[in-house]
Structure 1
């Protein structure tokens, strides 16, 4: 999808689309998970994978959640534990080993892994010795296949060049630096001070060491931000020139996330200012040669993510956009989310509950969902819109022979007619195409097919689209 056309975003249009909505890293979204789904359901899904030859042969994706952080970032909505006690990481590794052992007992040793991601929290809270131990645990239980994507989220304040070399030697080939904003005032307001020079030095070193890809996370809508200040950050990002950029809109939900209560709401930019930041970001990245992958991801043309977008091989999972085929995902660690077959599952959200389950020899799964046939159809539709920006009715009907698209989704197609009049989509007898303007609001287009959002009350739990 090209960014060559930058339409005027009228106040009326912004008001209509500045509503809460899911990010669709899954469908149904995690708020639909239920406590009636538990360990027996998860074990049944693992058993089905193990007994199914096609599924058993396909590589897995592996996510490891490390919840610890040394200091609190006020904008953060992640599951984290603030501590300076490194020994807590040692204890955590012992329980991760138990969880890994439970999976090996069900799936067998040596399952192929083509995508590995360490998230948090702060994965680099673990020192080199313990990161080495964790990777050894994973390699003994699974097989990391050549050519896979092995990434780790890095807080620039927790690493130096020597640590980057260690990460590369451990097998990580992709780094994601949490930048958020280079402006000192903004950094102070969110309690995350990290000089730009530090990030630039680490990025230079990472390239020299040989990492395949470097990602930088940015957030717009933070306290003390303005269009002018964010323009300076964008100019610095263009100079930094990471292979990938993830650009997120800050969602201020202090009633759900306690750290955000330390942010003065009066210092937040308005919705119109946020849209201006988004528009100037799109323009800056296009001028710098980045491919707009979709929604919040940008990549240089030679990066695997941009190539996957061009070739129609893009996928979306709990880590965002991905080049890896749509595959089963094992989530390890407190609060981690997994996907096995037609199920989603989530681990206990507190260390106490997570540790207790594993001490008793149980998977720490506390909730999840078994997808219905309708969920599966709608998931394929929503992911096609989110990843390819187009949907062909015939392809859905081939995948689901009992479905006649125009009949099954008659109500949704009628709703899309209004979006077509607004220039968001193009409708034909063959399918749906998202326009350049529509990419600003692709979440809103996908929401049309979300049966769980039929009343406005269901939307209030999500962040706003703009």
Structure 2
């Protein structure tokens, strides 16, 4: 990749876990009643055929990782676990009371925060509570995020016995200097231990999350981290770009100076070298920032054109309806998005009133649904066809805007659609931005997004 292309296209841009992106949601048409109408519609269209997904946000962490952009509550008090699980189950039961039939659950993902902050017994109470009002779909897939420092053998056994077969361990980087800067000090031994435990117990998909562009991170750090990761042979990897957004996350990302963070050419080199090593060792690039071996379900989904992306990230199975439970969670009915209250206090207060704790959202317009489909195609398959959606007036303007990217060798434009080239894959966010009509019509006055490269 040439320096000039990085300099040209490295601009702030969304990661497109949704379209419209959260800063461009229109609250004026959103209401609790409108949200209910859309999720009931989606439930009726999809529950029997494919089932629904649950994302459950477990927000507690014992310490603050300064690279993290997630909603979390820092505490060492574990007496917060039981009240929180009671609240999440109450929220779930409110949804179940409105469903016309028993929900058929295809996917569950436990995210955080730190899901393994919770004891195995309390996680078992949570999952059993969910299934007191639901049943498992065929080919269900349950996954959770595990912190290598506090995931116990009992955590892994308990969740395995509850049907979980996929676990993702947060690694980030093995450099002591980087770990100290991001306040996430965990030795390789801890990661190896939980990875081997998971394999022995029978987990069929083990993932490691790595991050490039962290403060003080050097090329040799990335190489060393990937070499150590190879030795543990996970089935898939997330190789994320660190999103340096201290203006959003406040003091959490102020533990180091801006000049300590790799930028532009230096940052991109970390990814390119890492990608080269991964591909030499049997990992295939899947979507954006993800890699998988050939026998992993994510690789198979990518090959079959069934890879999906939502607020849980990339998933190997697609469900039309995803319900987000817990503080700050986002739900997706395909026709609308809804986000829960962001503070525990407000979340608990809404549930005390027997109300779903959503506080904002967006009802997708017909135009939104068209653009969403194109952006999903590009993010998941690196291509989109014009005939997958109905025509829309701005199509010709989008093609004109993309022609410069075609001249730069990033994509091919044809009468059928758009194909992103190998050279263009690092710029997929920029390509999607050409379709983002809401972003074009109202350019942000302040910086909202991380850099694209």
**Shorter-chain TM-score: what band?**
over 0.9
* 3-state secondary structure, aligned to 2:298: helix
CA spacing shift, 1:263–1:15, aligned 2, 3 Å: same
Please give the per-residue CA displacement for 1:203-254, whole angstroms capped at 9, x wherever unaligned. 1111111001001101111111011221111111122221110111111111
Shift of 1:270: 2.6
Q: What does residue range 27-176 of structure 1 map to in structure 2 within 5 Å?
A: 27-36=19-28, 37-49=30-42, 52=44, 57-108=49-100, 110-176=102-168
* 3-state secondary structure, aligned to 2:229: helix
How many angstroms apart in 2 are the aligned matches of 1:350 and 1:35?
Answer: 19
Given candidates 187, 190, 194, the residue that maps to 2:186 is 194
Q: Is the 8 A contact 2:104 2:136 kept in 1?
A: yes
How many angstroms apart in 2 are the aligned matches of 1:458 and 1:321?
Answer: 30
Equivalent residue, structure 2, for 1:296: 289
* 3-state secondary structure, aligned to 1:43: helix
CA spacing shift, 1:54–1:232, aligned 2, 3 Å: closer
How many angstroms apart in 2 are the aligned matches of 1:267 and 1:430?
Answer: 45
Q: Is the 8 A contact 2:206 2:234 kept in 1?
A: yes
Equivalent residue, structure 2, for 1:3: none
For the aligned residues, what is the CA RMSD? 1.6
- TM-score, normalising length: structure 2: 0.96
Unaligned runs of 5+ in 1: 1-8
Name whichever of 242-251 and 447-456 sits farther off. Answer: 447-456
Shift of 1:170: 2.1
Q: Is the 8 A contact 2:181 2:255 kept in 1?
A: no
* 3-state secondary structure, aligned to 1:158: coil
* 3-state secondary structure, aligned to 1:26: coil
The answer to whether 1:427 aligns with 2:413 is: yes
* 3-state secondary structure, aligned to 2:434: helix
Given candidates 179, 195, 219, the residue that maps to 1:203 is 195
CA spacing shift, 1:156–1:342, aligned 2, 3 Å: same
Shift of 1:47: 3.5
Shift of 1:109: 5.5
Given candidates 319, 322, 332, the residue that maps to 1:329 is 322
Equivalent residue, structure 1, for 2:174: 182
Equivalent residue, structure 2, for 1:379: 372
Unaligned runs of 5+ in 2: none
Number of equivalent positions = 450
CA spacing shift, 1:217–1:54, aligned 2, 3 Å: closer
How many angstroms apart in 1 are the aligned matches of 2:356 and 2:345?
Answer: 14
Shift of 1:158: 1.0
Q: Is the 8 A contact 2:52 2:319 kept in 1?
A: no
Please give the per-residue CA displacement for 1:81-133, whole angstroms capped at 9, x wherever unaligned. 00011111111111112101101100146311111100010011110111110
How many angstroms apart in 1 are the aligned matches of 2:382 and 2:49?
Answer: 30
Given candidates 418, 438, 444, the residue that maps to 2:404 is 418
* 3-state secondary structure, aligned to 2:338: strand
How many angstroms apart in 1 are the aligned matches of 2:163 and 2:138?
Answer: 10
Shift of 1:139: 1.1
Q: Is the 8 A contact 2:18 2:311 kept in 1?
A: yes
How many angstroms apart in 2 are the aligned matches of 1:287 and 1:416?
Answer: 32
Q: Is the 8 A contact 1:35 1:366 kept in 2?
A: no
How many angstroms apart in 1 are the aligned matches of 2:153 and 2:445?
Answer: 46
Q: What does residue range 379-418 of structure 1 map to in structure 2 within 5 Å?
A: 379-396=372-389, 400=390, 403=391, 408-418=394-404
Equivalent residue, structure 2, for 1:267: 260
How many angstroms apart in 2 are the aligned matches of 1:102 and 1:232?
Answer: 48
Q: What does residue range 348-367 of structure 1 map to in structure 2 within 5 Å?
A: 348-367=341-360
How many angstroms apart in 2 are the aligned matches of 1:99 and 1:53?
Answer: 22
